[in-house]
Amino acid sequence: MMQPLRRILQENSQCKYYHTAYAANAKLALGSVQIDKMVIDETYADITTTLNEICSCSRMVSAAIENHRTIDDYTEIALKNLVKSINGFRQSCNRLYDFIQKKTKQRDTTMNDLPLQDSPTMEPSLIDDDSPCEKLVSQLGNALQHCSELLPDNLQLLKKKVRKSKQISPSDLVLSHVDIMILLARMHFQISIEDTYQQAYEYLATAEQLCTDTGFSTGYRWLSGEFYAMGAKMAAESMFSTARYPLRKACVLLEKDHHRINTDSGRLQLCKRYEILGTCCQKDGRFEEAVKAYRLALKRLPACSIEEFVKYHNQLAVTHMIDRHPFVPKLIDRFLRTSIIDPNQESLTLASEIMDLSSLDSAQRCIIQECELKVIHFLSLKMDLSKLESTLVNSLLHHYSAKDYPIRRAR
C-alpha cells in the first residue's frame, strides 16, 4: 500500500497535502517505534534513514501547505493525525534523551566510586563517550526542528477552514510547538559549555513568540518552567551571575500566564521563583536587584499562605509558628537583611508594608511584625537600628494590651 504513495512523493512535487501528511505520519510513527525499542532494549540502532525521511517528508508537507488554499474534512483528519504523530515522536525522543542522561549519570557515578586501578575496560555502548550517542542526539534534534517548523505552517492552514474545526484546535498545535522547543532547549543546553546557553534561549524565545502571536498564554507556564530549571542548575553550581537571566525570564513568563497567577498555587509558585532570583542576585552582590526581587515575592505571596502561618497565633509562640511554617518568615528575613545591607537604599520599607495583610486581624498582623522585630534585633548587633526597633516595639505594645496579651506584652 505504501509503494504507490512513495512513488507519488518521489515523482510529483505538487502532490496534495493529504498524501504528504500521511507519508510524514507514517515516518514519524516508524521513528517512534524504533526509538522506543532502543530505550526498552538499551541498545543502539542506526535510524539515520528514518530520521532523514522524516525531515524530507516534513519539507514536502510545508511545500504542499503553500499550494493548499482550502481545508476540507479529509485534510482536517490528516492534519489531526499528523499532530498526534508529531507528539508521539516528541515523547519518544524525550524518553530516549532522559534514558541517555540517566545512564550517563549512573556511569559517571560508578567510575568515580571505583579506584583508578580498578576501573574496568568498558565496551562501547549507547552512553560511552566514543559511542554514536552524540550524533544520534544531533539527528533527533534536526528531525524535531523540522517538526517544529511544520506546526506554525499547519496553524496557518487550519485558519483557512471556514467553520471552526471539530477535530483539532489551534492551541493543540501551539502546545506541540512549545513542547518541542522545550525539548530542543534541554537537548542543546549543557551547563559546562557556556556557548550552548544562547541557542537554548533562542529555542524558547521562538516558542514564546508563537504564544504571543496566537494569544496562547498557557504556553508561558511551560516555558517559564524550563527557564527556571536552567537557572536553578546554574545557581546550584554557584554561577549566580549567569543564572540571573533565566531566573528573571522564568518570573516574567509566569507573570504572563494570567490564569495561573490568579490562583493561590500559581502566586505561591511565582513568589518562590522571585525569592530564588533575589537570593541569586544577593549572592552576586547585586543588592538593588535582590531587593526588587524580594519585594515582588512579597507582593505575590498569596493571602492563604500568610493566613496559614498566623493561623494559631492565639495558641503557639512565634518561634513555634516559624518552625511549623518557615517560608513566610524566611522571606521576610531575606528581604529585610538585603534592604538594610544595600548601601544604595535610601529608605527602609518593612515587609509588612508590602504584603497583603488585608484579611488579617490586628493580632495576626502583630505576628508578622514580631518576625520583623526578630530580624531587626539581630542586625542591630552590627549596626544602629534603634529607631526602627522602637517603631516596631511601640506598634506591638499598642496592640498587645496587659489584659488580652500579658505574656506577649511582657516579652
pLDDT digits (tens, 9 = 90+) for 224-278: 999 999 999 999 999 999 999 999 999 999 999 999 999 999 999 999 999 999 9
pLDDT recorded at residue 405: 66
pLDDT tens digits, one per residue of 180-239: 999 999 999 999 899 999 999 999 999 999 999 999 999 999 999 999 999 999 999 999
The cell numbers describing 93, all together, are: 525522543
Looking at residue 73, its amino acid is D
**Where does the pLDDT of residue 314 fall: very low under 50, low under 70, confident under 90, or very high at 90 and above?**
confident
Q: Look at 54-63, 74-83, 326-335, 379-388 and tell me which has the smallest mean pLDDT.
A: 379-388
CA distance 75 to 22: 10
Phi, psi at residue 378, to the nearest 5°?
Answer: -65, -40
pLDDT tens digits, one per residue of 131-155: 577 888 889 999 999 999 999 988 8
* All residues at 6 or more sequence positions from 284 whose CB lies less than 8 Å from its CB, including other chains: 240, 241, 244
pLDDT recorded at residue 75: 82
In the predicted structure, residue 117 carries a pLDDT above the cut 50 = no
Q: Please state the pTM of the whole predicted model.
A: 0.86
Q: Where are the alpha helices (DSSP H) in 114-217?
A: 133-158, 170-188, 195-214
